[in-house]
């Protein structure tokens, strides 16, 4: 049942797992083990990954173990959520939030995905 778990990506596979994805956006959570708000956001993202799997890929990257990606995208705090479409960052959100708010913030990206696939 791990199909909907939030996958862990690294500096080494970020390009393959995130930037090379076509057809659906990728939500990347920049996280750290010591980050309380990151832990609060974890079940929200797991639910989102399960419910929106056809329209959104959800992954996370540990900022302490993957500094190159952190620096590349100018991430200054955790949790930071970056949404990529066809290899380009298109939306950024900083801090934990409830699922409803997150879905509202992602509405434009998800609507564009639904329109593109139809």
Closest CA to 98 of 56, 55, 37: 37
- Nearest-CA neighbor of 32 among 96, 71, 77, 88? 77
38 part of the active site: yes
Q: Catalytic pick from 18, 27, 35, 44?
A: 35
CB proximity list for 14: less than 8 A, separation 6 or greater? 61, 66, 69
* Known catalytic residue at 91: no
The single residue of 6, 9, 26, 38 carrying the catalytic annotation is 38
Q: Are 114 and 55 in contact (CB under 8 A)?
A: yes
Please give the order of strands across the beta sheet that includes 80-85: 7-9, 57-62, 26-31, 80-85, 88-94
Catalytic residues: 35, 38
């Amino acid at each position: 049942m791990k199909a909907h778990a939030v996958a862990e990506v690294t500096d080494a596979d970020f390009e393959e797992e995130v930037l090379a994805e076509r057809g659906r956006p990728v939500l990347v959570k920049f996280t750290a083990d010591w980050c309380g708000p990151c832990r609060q956001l974890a079940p929200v993202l797991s639910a989102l990954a399960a419910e929106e799997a056809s329209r959104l890929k959800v992954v996370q990257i540990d900022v302490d173990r993957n500094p190159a990606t952190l620096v590349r995208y100018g991430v200054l705090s955790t949790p930071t959520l970056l949404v990529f479409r066809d290899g380009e960052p298109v939306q950024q959100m900083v801090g934990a939030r409830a699922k409803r708010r997150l879905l509202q913030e992602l509405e434009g990206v998800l609507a564009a995905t639904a329109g593109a696939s139809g």
